[in-house]
Chain A
Amino acid sequence: MKILVCISHVPDTTSKINFTEGDTKFDTNGVQFVINPNDEFGLTRAMWFKEKQGATVDVVNVGGAETEPTLRKALAIGADSAIRVNTPATDGIYVAKQLAKVFKDGGYDLVIAGRESIDYNGGMVPGMLAGLVGANFVNTCIGLEIEGNEATVIREIDGGKETLRAALPLVIGTQKGIVEESDLRIPNMRGIMQARKKPMNVVEPIETNTNTEAVKFEKPEPRGDIKMIDPENLDELVDLLHNEAKVI
């Protein structure tokens, strides 16, 4: 089985978010980049298929050279090789079309991507990829077993979960739950050393369109002051929630 794990290179969750160039560009100054958390859960599940079912695991990112340390980290966690499509990730469909090319060229059986990236929060790349290549797709995946050509997938729905069955090739959008937090791997010294020797294949992008254009950014208004309430006077809170906030 050949698995492709899509890795989005995102600011660390503690990053302060600022913009430059008249609020049109994300300010990367002093920002640490990491593997998108949803992708990290997916990558860990891919390692299980590698170790238990003999799968090969490639990781891919659509982005500039600055994303290579993030891909190297995925290699250190255990992926076999990395692919970087050498172009900025302009919008969802643009990235999905680049990934579709990688998918077809590599003949993958399974693509694991995140439910969403924590930077742009598009929530669209995996579904678009599946739609473009005609593969089956399951989103918000929290469980995945594969036997032969058949996958059994558990999907989180609002208020519960659902079990689905689909043939490969399959694309999943995944999140925490596909593996436990405690199963996540921190690259060890040996992994880091090995990762240096693993292939980092840089491929050039195909020419294609975008459908959306991020024009500018804005930071939320700083909020007003908090009202403190004496724990001995909870009637005041009930009153404020009813008459001021009008939420009860």
Chain B
Amino acid sequence: MSVLVYTESEEGKFKKTALEVASYAKGVADMLGTGVTAVTFNAGDTSELGKYGVSKVLKVNSDKLKKFNAKAYTDALKQAVEKEGSKVVVLSQSANAKYLAPLLAVQLEAGYASNVVALPESTDPLQVKRTAFTNKAFNFTNITTDVKIIGVSKNAFGLKESSAELSEEEFSPNLSDGDFSVEVVSVDKAADKVTIADAEIVVSGGRGMKGPENWGMLEELAETLGAATACSKPVSDMGWRPHSEHVGQTGKPVAANLYIAIGISGAIQHLAGVNASKTKVVINNDPEAPFFKAADYGIVGDAFEVVPKLTEKLKKFKSDNA
């Protein structure tokens, strides 16, 4: 009956989102009076999960599952749910989790609510609060099936420590050839770059940056903050930056702790995708730019002067506080 949580790891290490979904699962388990079981794939040391309320880990160790494979991971998770008799499954909204969640929903005949931003409003019926209309609204959804899947938005719940006695168990799901009918041929991932999906801080540039040659100053600011870089849609459409950096309603959603928008006007489609971020800073030379109505801190000024100065200040702050 435990709440099952899919805790993603990379090269054996848990992602922050994994600890966040574990915290969330613990919250749900407390509401239901049960415990939390995590499923891990080729994770090394799992003791960290105990700090976020996980009491049991099903460890899947398999060379076949070294690379993420949606169908095979789905099959493994399904078998874990059945083994545990879980009625609630919690996962993140990473690209991989979003890929497998609908497949798992079909396998388990479970209702799935995505983009959930808070603990359930009630457990009977199970009602969750989620974002809809690309952050322009919230939507309360009842999941009416026996087994329920909750996809938790990044940074919506945060990390909540609550230590549990952790037990570990090897788990070897039965996988068939059919599970690998979609074959992963190659993975191309920049190892050293902070991704928008993982970043706590995102530094984003718009058309006000004038051209790709001026991105050096944004990259320096991002590096100082350990942030990811992002951009508005026209910037990626013009090829100044890669598509993968395009954020907004039709690009990637950003739910960072801090979003710094530089030379971005704040069009409704841009704001929709980024306003789930906690704190927003806007740097724009036009005091009438609509983004000032949607931000927490604003600077009216020329990005080409403000950004390098800000980077210097932050470097000093970092070294003073190191």
Residues of chain A having any CB pair with chain B under 8 Å = 11, 13-14, 17, 19, 37-38, 91-93, 96, 118-128, 130-132, 136-140, 142, 152, 155-167, 175-177, 180-182, 210-220, 223-224, 226-231, 234-235, 237-238, 240-242, 245, 247-248
Contacts and interface: CB of A to CB of B under 8 A. Distances in A.
Interface residues of B, number: 92
B257 interface: yes
Given A121-B114, A126-B102, A248-B258, A14 B268 contact: yes
A220 B276 CA distance: 10
B187 to A, nearest CB: 5
Contact of A164 (B109, B182, B317): B182
Contacts of A118: 133-134, 249-250
Contacts of B172: none
15 contacts: A13-B250, A93-B106, A96-B102, A96-B106, A128-B105, A130-B103, A131-B106, A155-B95, A210-B144, A211-B112, A212-B143, A212-B144, A228-B298, A247-B278, A248-B201
Contact of A242 (B141, B200, B317): B317
B143 to A, nearest CB: 5
Interface string B282-297: 1000000000111111
Interface string B182-206: 1111111110010111101100000
Interface stretch (B163-171, B208-216, B303-311): B303-311
Interface of B: 68, 70-71, 94-96, 98-103, 105-107, 109-115, 127, 129, 131-145, 181-190, 193, 195-198, 200-201, 225, 233, 237, 243-244, 246, 249-251, 257-258, 268-269, 272, 275, 278-279, 281-282, 292-301, 305-306, 309-310, 313-314, 317
B142 A163 contact: no
A132 B106 CA distance: 7
Contacts of A231: 299-301, 305-306, 309
By DSSP majority rule, is chain B's interface helix, strand, loop, or mixed?
Answer: mixed
Contacts of B182: 136-138, 164-166
A240 B281 CA distance: 11
A136 B182 CA distance: 6
